[in-house]
Structure 1
């Protein structure tokens, strides 16, 4: 009976050691996966923040360009208006006045349309450029979700 008890104790010890080793291996694997997931999450969020910062920089530069464009247009409009007013001083007849008025109005209208078109193009470019980093991150997120 002593051998039976010893054999049972040895088997129990072996099973316990095997279970403990298996538990430790699975715990280490789980910790490794958790650690890897945490590292990936940190990198992922870091990339998201970098995309937002880059987007902000692009937007700020684009807004600066729009502001400069507005100032340039305002200066040109002022110069054109000043030149037009000087032209009115040389008018001799009402017919000449209305002819000059029509010419100046057409020039001003054409300039306004051209500036509006240019500004629209700049705004579209600014919008596309500033959202590009965010759009790229959305693509990464989408591909990771599809892969998961």
Structure 2
């Protein structure tokens, strides 16, 4: 259990730092990009998606390591390759999707709970940043001016 607790704390720190750096980079780099403002929003969404994918991968890798190297539990319902099952379980946990076809058994249940809470916070952070970016870069075309009568 101490190993899972330490891994959970480290993952929270690493993923929050990673997310912060991606959003900070977007915040400072977007105004300098020489592309139309609306395309800057696509950059925001793609960068946020990539950050979330990397964070899911980190949790999946940690889950796999905790199961195989430390014997900290198992994934009930996992068939085939454990690494891909760990990634799949991580994705459904991080997003709070929770299909329920894979179930953590043993101390790794703590990691699953931490990942769900962390994912919820980071997804909310991305949504907030995307909204702020939309306010900043989503310009509406000016309304046509009425022509004065001659």
Q: TM-score range by the shorter chain?
A: 0.3 to 0.5
TM-score (norm 1): 0.40
- For normalisation by structure 2, the TM-score amounts to 0.39
Structure whose CA Rg is larger:
1
Whose RCO is larger (CA < 8 A, sep 6+)? 1
The structure with more helix, counted as a fraction of residues: 1
